[in-house]
Amino acid sequence: MSPTIVLEVETRFEEEERLDEFQKGVKHLCERGITKVPRKYILPALERPVLTKKDDATSFKLPVIDFDQLQGPNRVHALKSLSKACEEYGFFQLVNHGIACQSIVDMIEAGRKFFELSFEERSKYMSKDLRAPVRYGTSFNQNKDRVFCWRDFLKLDCHPLSDVLPYWPSSPTELRQAAVNYSEKTRFLYLMIVEAILESLGLVETTKDNDENDSDDHMKEFRDGSQLLSRISIASLHSLPFESMIRPSPKLINDANPRRYKDTDFASFIEYIASHEHRSKNFLESRRMS
């Protein structure tokens, strides 16, 4: 065997060994004492975003919706603002949401303590199944991502709580109670916002007694892995059940506004995001009717 071939074999072995380390997450890498960002986490130059002066965040004004206004005598005006935000931006910032600061602090601290557990304890919840009720991992889909995202995450399904709670981590001890409290409050907020959006579209009338919904709530916790400068975020993601079909309301479809997209379900969206196809076009474009 020539020296060149031997060197190539050794290099491949080293790469496979490093990949195994990457699979264990950013926190694990930092605990091992890395001194620079591994190449696995660096986008090729041609794929990096190019920022211009137009991208300056100070020039962008995010729509702001006051939840208090939606619940008070100014609801009609607030609904108009909500409708405009949905039509022109597709997202908005919600203020005066009513979730107690202590609930947020408790959730963040419980999440922080989970990521401070040993790798052996955290790794009990590693799973390749994107639908697993509890999933600890790194990047987005560490089994397929060509370039890894510099993040670790813990995903907890939160609805129905009676079904998923037994799967949640038992350590740290305060995690379950903090997550239950936080998920219940964010779910209530989500239902109120969806109700307001439907009302702003003229599809339903306000029904204050409607507190039942078939939506699945998914709470994800993310933490960057730096030991010196770390950041933890709590994202509460709300969606329909995996198999529920999503289609436009018949009230919104007519000759002037025909259907433009195929029916779809949330499971198809998750599978698409986990595939490589999303790099060439977004999910909405993939559902466009020709």
Same domain as 225, residue 151: yes
Asked if residue 28 lies in contact with residue 119, where contact means CB atoms within 8 angstroms, the answer is: yes
Q: How many domains does the chain have?
A: 2
Same domain as 112, residue 82: no
3-class SS of residue 126: strand
Euclidean distance between CA atoms 186 and 191, whole angstroms: 9
pLDDT value of position 51: 75
pLDDT value of position 17: 61
Same domain as 155, residue 92: no
Q: What is the pLDDT along the chain (290 residues), one digit of tens a residue?
A: 444 444 444 455 555 567 788 989 999 999 988 888 898 999 898 888 887 766 565 667 889 999 999 999 999 999 999 999 998 998 899 999 999 999 999 999 999 999 999 999 999 999 888 889 999 999 987 878 889 999 999 999 998 888 999 999 999 999 999 999 999 999 999 999 999 998 988 877 655 444 444 333 333 332 333 344 567 788 887 777 777 888 888 888 899 999 999 998 888 887 787 776 556 668 888 888 87
Select from 94, 107, 123, 110 the least CA-distant residue to 28. Answer: 123
Same domain as 144, residue 20: yes
Does some domain include residue 275? no
Euclidean distance between CA atoms 29 and 36, whole angstroms: 10
3-class SS of residue 207: coil
Same domain as 176, residue 91: no
Same domain as 221, residue 123: yes
Same domain as 181, residue 117: yes
pLDDT value of position 230: 66
- Pairing relationship of beta strands 93-95 and 134-138 according to DSSP bridges: unpaired
Asked if residue 142 lies in contact with residue 74, where contact means CB atoms within 8 angstroms, the answer is: no
Helix axes 175-200, 101-115, angle to 10 degrees: 130
Q: If residue 26 lies in a helix (H) or strand (E), which one and from where to where?
A: helix 26-31
Q: Is the bond preceding residue 172 a cis peptide, omega within 30 degrees?
A: yes
Euclidean distance between CA atoms 31 and 22, whole angstroms: 12
3-class SS of residue 247: coil
Range of the domain at 176: 7-36+102-188+199-239
Does some domain include residue 44? no
Does some domain include residue 278? no
